[in-house]
Amino acid sequence: MKVIILCGGVGQRIAVETKNKPKPLIKIGKLSIIEHIMNIYKKNGFNDFYLLLGYKGEKLKKYLKKKRKYNINFIDTGLKTGTAGRIRKIKKYISKNESFHLTYGDGLTNQNIKKLVKFHNKMNKIITMTVVRPPARWGEVKISKSLITTYKEKRAAESGWINGGFMVINQKIFQFLKGNFLEMLEGKPMEKLSKQKQLVGFKHKGFWQCMDTLKEKEYLSSLIKKGITPWEN
């Protein structure tokens, strides 16, 4: 199965790191986050990568061309293209009735990719999405007359399920990508798929962490320093 990775975004929320390089090249320990992501798939037997480039794509291409252990195809999808628009660019590489992996170039997990594929085949829907409970960002307080009487750190289990990337998608997805190239997959296409009961979630309760902000990058780096790398297990 082909592995499609969205690598074209600017990464504005982590601009201090992306001023001179694309977000997937941000280092987590000795490796860039894109290498960590590809290793997740490679250890599960998937090593046919299609990287959808955009912002500073040439730097990503130059860096990864030296990495011989990966089979990588680089697709220039434009700077301001939306996620749906980027995916449309790879239509010619996907055969009829073929399914492919899709994920974002900024998230790590210990998801069992083989079980994800098995679930996708069993459900027989267009998109199977890994859904996760995000790490809580805020603590819960109770306040009386300006005095905080109770403070409780909010646990992830108290939050709802969200899109965690690491999807398996059937070739029929292209029937739903009819907008302009600014269109986002996470907008109208997924809303339509949901209404037609063609979008299913594969619940993952293990490790998952995105890298949208500098704080999240520093958190992942701190795990590396402690020798804690659940996405490698």
- 132 is written with which tokens? 């996760």
State the Cα–Cα distance between residues 48 and 27, nearest whole angstrom: 22
* DSSP character at residue 188: H
User: What's the rounded Cα separation, in Å, for the pair 144 and 54?
Assistant: 50
Domains of the chain: 2-135+166-227 (3.90.550.10)
What is the reported pLDDT for 148?
Answer: 41
Q: Please give the pLDDT value at position 156.
A: 56
What pLDDT score does 140 carry? 55
The overall average pLDDT reported for the chain is: 90
What is the mean predicted confidence (pLDDT) over 32-56? 97
Per residue in 96-115, pLDDT tens? 989 999 999 999 999 999 99
By DSSP bridging, strand 71-76 and strand 48-53 are: parallel
DSSP 31-71: EEHHHHHHHHHHTTT--EEEEEE-TTHHHHHHHHTT-TTSE
**157 vs 194, residue with greater confidence:** 194
Query: What are phi and psi for residue 47, nearest 5 degrees?
Result: -135, 25
pLDDT digits (tens, 9 = 90+) for 8-24: 999 889 999 999 999 99
155 pLDDT higher than 70? no
pLDDT at 233: 81
- Residue of 103 and 66 predicted with greater confidence: 103
Spatial CA neighbour of 98 closest among 48, 51, 53: 48
Confidence label for 81 from pLDDT (cuts 50, 70 and 90): very high
